[in-house]
Amino acid sequence: MRFLKFLLTAITLSAVAFTASASPTDPKEGVEYKTLAKPQPVDTGKKVEVIEFFDYACPHCAAFDGTLNAWVKKQGDNIVFKRVHIGRQGGDVPQARMFYTLQAMGVLTPELHTKAFNEIHVNRNRMNRDELVFDFVAKQGVDKQKFIDTYRGFGVAAQVRKSLAQMDAYQVEFWPLLIVDGKYQTAPSMANANATTEAQLNEDVTRVLDALVVKAKAEKK
């Protein structure tokens, strides 16, 4: 369903973009990005906050990972980059708990983040059960017992609940989705009506992000 929703969203937004004749380097409101009706507070000072909402199980998030990591590295100290693993009503998602556990332990490097995607989408290990997650992190050199204790703790459970509240606040209906400085929402599926491949969409959204970061930084003055 999420894959179908991604495609439908891309088709719909692309049709709108085509009529508006916008471009990734000169993004237009309602085409390559939209402004949230209720902007959310940021705590990053003069730096621009950029949040990615993602799901380890999402193939589009996996495809976007390398491009996004390169863009974040290029931005450097210009931004404060954060990730939020999506939650699902009615149950915990082992992949989400893994993300917040690794984050809480301070061991979630970009390299480990990419390995988690590869484990699911290349090695075909869905990591949809606790034991599969535990085995994976142990193979990455993470203290297994410490991981399990943190994974089952109240802090991680609270983070999973918080992610659901954040999805509501930022109007997250599909992913990957990016929020710039608490007010601007964009995504690869919004980036370019003329793109013919997902790789092109992923590259083009970084140009949209470039423009939005400049816009948000100017508004901080």
pLDDT digits (tens, 9 = 90+) for 103-121: 999 999 999 999 999 999 9
For the stretch 70-88, pLDDT in tens is 999 999 999 999 999 999 8
How much is the pLDDT for 91? Answer: 66
CB atoms within 10 A of CB 87: 23
- For the stretch 184-209, pLDDT in tens is 999 999 999 899 999 999 999 999 99
| pTM (predicted TM-score) | 0.89
- What interhelical angle do 59-75 and 2-20 show, nearest 10? 50
Q: What is the pLDDT of residues 158-186, one digit of tens each?
A: 999 999 999 999 999 999 999 999 999 99
Task: With cut-offs at 50, 70 and 90, classify the pLDDT of residue 22.
Answer: low
pLDDT at residue 58 in the model:
96
Q: At what angle do helices 130-139 and 94-105 cross, to 10 degrees?
A: 40
Q: In Å, what is the CA distance from 104 to each residue of 107, 109, 149, 154?
A: 8, 12, 11, 12
CA distances from 127 to 69, 84, 95, 131, 155 (A): 23, 18, 7, 8, 21
> Three-state DSSP class for 178?
strand
Is residue 215 within 8 Å of 184, Cβ to Cβ? yes
Helix (H/G/I), strand (E/B), else coil: 46 = coil
Q: Which of 8-22, 83-97, 169-183 has the lowest mean pLDDT?
A: 8-22
